[in-house]
Structure 1
Amino acid sequence: MASDGEQNARLLSEEESGFWEPSEKVQRRKSSGWWKIILYPVAVGLIFLAGIAGGYHWQDVDVNKRCLEHVSQKAPLMRDMDVTYHVEQFNGEFLTENIYRQNASQEVDDAWEALGVDYRPLRVPPEAAEEAGITHDQVKINDEYGGGYIANLEGLHHLHCLNLLRKSLYYNYDYYHAKGEGAFVNEDYIVRKHVSHCLDILRQQLMCTVDVGVLGQIWVWPDDPKPFVDFNTRHKCRNFDAIRQWAHDHQLPADPPPGFIQERPEEGDTIYPDIP
């Protein structure tokens, strides 16, 4: 039986042999380690160069259009005009009424009309129809006049609806009912359907694009201070005037020639049993 000294000597010898002996396995590990040392800075350098190249490429990409594509249904508008964003202070005054809030008058109507609430439809080219959500069996412009589909810009339809709600307010209704223009050429029950349609379209739009900003509160009345909601908030807005101008410039003719729009559906087109 080996003495304690012999066992310790053997253990030390085994440990030294296992750690120091330049075996083939250890040599392979050392060789692999050298490759890692060489490849690591090369890989880092390549990643760095790729980042620089990607940065230059990103500068060439229109970030505003990417943002628009992310939050909006695709439409020809995205390709044809320069949509930009800016910070705008909302006018949230409670007691002071601007022109859009005043009682019915020709001046108020003119202000709303200037927003494009009654612009004529525009043309969506055939090649852009599917991307814009238009199906092949919707109403078309005849090929001799350029083809494509008639369509309205949704944002301006939303303003059209808001304008109709304004006209239908209890203190405005009699004025517009007496004029008998626009939606008010129809019987009252059709006007009601039109108004409720607009109400629900705006409900859906507001829920779809729900604003996650917040309304703080301010102090009013120095003699007896009370809190009141501050509606004068800042928002990131699209350049509405440029979009409205684009829609204005792309309106279909006010008096289209005979046969401009197809008069009958084509074979296979969907025909609904009634107005949905």
Structure 2
Amino acid sequence: MGAATSPQVPEGKYFPLSHNGGHKTTKERPPSMSVSEAKNKLWLPVLIVVLLVVILIASLSAVHSDTLNAPRNQHRILSPAPQFQAVQAPFLENPRFDNLTTNQQIIEAWGKYGLSSYGFITIPNPEAYGLPPNKNVVPGTKNAYMISVYHQLHCLKALHMALLPVVTQQETLSSSTAGGHGFEHNHIAHCLDYLRQSVMCSGDVTLEPPDEKPEKGKSPLQGWGVKHVCRNWEEIEAWRGELGVI
């Protein structure tokens, strides 16, 4: 009996094995597909995925590096203030400040912000934050410092009161507020310049579109309803309340 011969398999072709170990010829790969071509097709998506992963890692590393080395971090001011939560808050017209025609009405409207206290707090270790120690800035206290945002609000209140005669056609403006703080010309000039620099320092670049339904006779650029990224005011108030001295 002669030796059995295996079926001839064309070079570069293969046949799937059946469960019994024999060759199965019913599902032959297309004649044009070689082993090397099949391997290339298998490796191509793997290479693409690897390249994408490498690019992603490189991009994330670059972003992380940029974050660590951002210019704003180079100029970060050491401060005892905690990291307040950032919130989106729409600017909305507040009826509290509408139709104020007397000094007392203005004082009451701005009283919401506790401006009679001016926002001073004490810091027990000011040198650790590069702050110069002080005494009796607020009588009877040491190392008292004014929170800038309250200074800004105070200046706005000063402007409001200074402009009252223009708005209401009054001849004169009371020379003092409830706290006996005079609002002479030099004080107003200071407040205007302080606010100018504060606005430039904050640099809010929120884009404000025209109002969808502008009121007749008013500019369509009121800015109401536009969301800004703001510090949480309640948290700032709580912080001032914990450390406040006046």
Confirm or deny: 8 A CA contact 2:158 2:188 kept in the other structure: yes
Cα RMSD of the aligned pairs, angstroms, is: 4.4
What secondary structure is seen at the aligned counterpart in 2 of 1:171?
A: helix
Q: Distance in 1 between the 2:192 and 2:201 partners?
A: 14
% same residue: 22
Query: Hey, what does 2:65 align to over in structure 1?
Result: none
Counterpart check, 1:74 vs 2:78: yes
1:102 CA drift (Å): 3.1
Query: Hey, what does 2:10 align to over in structure 1?
Result: none
Query: Hey, what does 2:131 align to over in structure 1?
Result: 134
1:168 CA drift (Å): 0.5
Q: Distance in 1 between the 2:172 and 2:127 partners?
A: 37
Q: Distance in 2 between the 1:204 and 1:215 partners?
A: 21
Matching residue's letter, 1:123: T
1:52-74 per-position Cα deviation (integer Å, ceiling 9, x unaligned): xxxxxxxxxxxxxxxx9888633
Change in Cα spacing, 1:183 to 1:199, as seen in structure 2 (3 Å) is farther
1:104-153 per-position Cα deviation (integer Å, ceiling 9, x unaligned): 4434422311212232522121x33341x4225xx236xxx9x8512111
Matching residue's letter, 1:196: A
Confirm or deny: 8 A CA contact 1:219 1:227 kept in the other structure: no
Equivalent residues, number? 176
Q: Distance in 1 between the 2:185 and 2:239 partners?
A: 32
Change in Cα spacing, 1:183 to 1:196, as seen in structure 2 (3 Å) is farther
Confirm or deny: 8 A CA contact 1:90 1:235 kept in the other structure: yes
Query: Hey, what does 2:96 align to over in structure 1?
Result: 99
Confirm or deny: 8 A CA contact 1:122 1:251 kept in the other structure: yes
What secondary structure is seen at the aligned counterpart in 2 of 1:178?
A: coil
Query: Hey, what does 1:3 align to over in structure 2?
Result: none
Matching residue's letter, 2:122: R
Largest Rg, 1 or 2: 2
State the TM-score, normalizing by the size of structure 1.
0.50
Could you say which structure has the higher helix fraction? 1
1:25-66 per-position Cα deviation (integer Å, ceiling 9, x unaligned): xxxxxxxxxxxxxxxxxxx9xxx9xx9xxxxxxxxxxxxxxx
1:128-182 per-position Cα deviation (integer Å, ceiling 9, x unaligned): 3341x4225xx236xxx9x851211111111001110111102369598337335
User: Which consecutive residues of structure 2, in runs of 5 or more, have no partner in the other structure?
Assistant: 1-52, 61-71
Counterpart check, 1:177 vs 2:170: no
Q: Distance in 2 between the 1:198 and 1:69 partners?
A: 29
Change in Cα spacing, 1:218 to 1:156, as seen in structure 2 (3 Å) is closer
What secondary structure is seen at the aligned counterpart in 1 of 2:81?
A: helix
